Amino acid sequence: MTEDIEKQAPLNIIIAPDPVLKTVAAPIDKVDDDLRKFLDDMLETMYIARGVGLAAPQVGISQRILVMDPARGEADQSPQPMVMINPEIIWRSEELNIFEEGCLSLPDYYVEVERPASVRVKYLDRDGKSQEMLAENFTATVLQHEFDHLNGVLLWDYVSKLKRDMAIKKFTKMKKEFDVL
């Protein structure tokens, strides 16, 4: 995996707080080669950052696109990259799951989030074809986390206002210090 470490990610991941991470992203109206190139860049950036999911707003593009590879979370699984354009959650199970979630836009910040254990999602694939998928367990959580990004929702929106304000303060300070370096 050393080549991964040395490799420069094609896209820059935006760290919160940032206005683009709070914005409701716009739908894609055309799936073309430029978009497919962007999808590949998103996947490569996600793998290099060792993430299991990435949404376009996290690289500064306010459009309804997400990529994920929940299998990446388990070492013995081979890569299973997924891309979703204009995803819509059309069904949510009543059964809930709790996972401790992290986010590439919130380094070293983890929140236990309760979400529907299964969801059915409708989306366009990289050829612009309409697809449907039933996501379950960890895959459902990753999908809903990335879907949140398309609606300007971050992990700290799942904690109390007090805890959220503390986290925002910490990340604002961290970003300022990083800018000075």
Q: Considering beta carbons, is residue 123 or 156 the nearer one to Ni ion?
A: 156
Q: How far is the CB of 104 from Ni ion (least distance, A)?
A: 6
Answer yes or no: 6 catalytic.
Answer: no
Q: How far is the CB of 145 from Ni ion (least distance, A)?
A: 6
Q: How far is the CB of 103 from Ni ion (least distance, A)?
A: 3
Q: How far is the CB of 101 from Ni ion (least distance, A)?
A: 8
Interaction site with Ni ion (CB under 5 A): 103
- Per DSSP, the residues of the chain read -HHHHHSPPSSPPPPSS-GGGGSPPBPP----HHHHHHHHHHHHHHHHTT-SEEEGGGGT--BSEEEE-GGGGSTTSPP--EEEEEEEEEEE-SSEEEEEEEETTEEEEEEEEEEESEEEEEEE-TTS-EEEEEEEHHHHHHHHHHHHHHTT--GGGGS-HHHHHHHHHHHHHHHHHHHH-
Tell me which residue has tokens 């073309």: 32
Of 100, 151, 102, 142, give the one whose Cα is nearest residue 118: 142
Residue type, 162: L
User: Cβ-closest residue to Ni ion?
Assistant: 103
Q: Considering beta carbons, is residue 31 or 64 the nearer one to Ni ion?
A: 64
Q: Considering beta carbons, is residue 114 or 132 the nearer one to Ni ion?
A: 114
- Indicate which residue of 101, 112, 146, 177 is catalytic: 146
Q: Considering beta carbons, is residue 44 or 101 the nearer one to Ni ion?
A: 101
| Active-site annotation, residues | 146
